[in-house]
Amino acid sequence: MSQKKSPRFELRSGNVDALLLALKSADMAALRDDLLSRFESTPDFFSNDVVALDLRRLEGDGRIALDTVIETLAQLKARAIGVVAREAQRDWAASFGLPLLDSHSRRGGREEGAPAEAAAAAPAQTPPEPAQATAEAVAATVADAAARSVPTMLIDKPLRSGQQVYAAGDVVILDLVSYGAEVIAEGNIHVYAPLRGRALAGVKGDAQARIFCTCLEPELLSIAGIYRTGELSLPADVLGKPAQVRLDGEKLILEPLRMK
Q: Same structural domain for residues 161 and 251?
A: yes
Q: Same structural domain for residues 92 and 177?
A: no
Interaxial angle between packed helices 28-39 and 66-75, expressed in degrees from 0 to 180 and rounded to the nearest 10: 10
Q: Is residue 54 part of a domain?
A: yes
Q: What is the pLDDT of residue 239?
A: 93
Q: What is the pLDDT of residue 105?
A: 47
Q: Same structural domain for residues 78 and 159?
A: no
Neighbours of 64 (CB within 10 A): 21
Q: What is the pLDDT of residue 38?
A: 74
Domain that holds residue 237: 153-256
Q: What is the pLDDT of residue 216?
A: 94
Tell me which DSSP letter residue 87 carries: G
Domain count, the chain: 2
47: left (phi over 0), alpha (psi -120 to 50) or beta: left
* CATH value at residue 240: 2.160.20.70
How far apart CA 101 and CA 53 sit, in angstroms, is 9
Q: Is residue 45 part of a domain?
A: yes
Q: Is residue 80 part of a domain?
A: yes
Q: Same structural domain for residues 174 and 234?
A: yes
Q: Same structural domain for residues 95 and 158?
A: no
Q: Is residue 215 part of a domain?
A: yes
Are 50 and 19 within 8 A, CB to CB? yes
Q: Same structural domain for residues 172 and 233?
A: yes
Q: What is the pLDDT of residue 13?
A: 63
69: left (phi over 0), alpha (psi -120 to 50) or beta: alpha
Helix (H, G, I), strand (E, B) or coil at 74: helix
Q: What is the pLDDT of residue 181?
A: 92
Q: Is residue 118 part of a domain?
A: no
Per-residue pLDDT of the chain (260 residues; tens, 9 = 90+): 455 667 778 776 666 667 788 888 888 888 888 888 877 766 666 767 888 889 888 876 667 888 899 999 988 888 888 889 888 888 888 888 889 887 654 444 444 444 433 333 334 444 444 444 444 444 454 455 455 567 899 999 999 988 889 998 999 999 999 998 999 999 999 999 999 999 999 988 899 999 999 999 999 999 988 888 877 888 899 999 999 999 998 899 999 988 66
Domain boundary among 40, 72, 104: 104
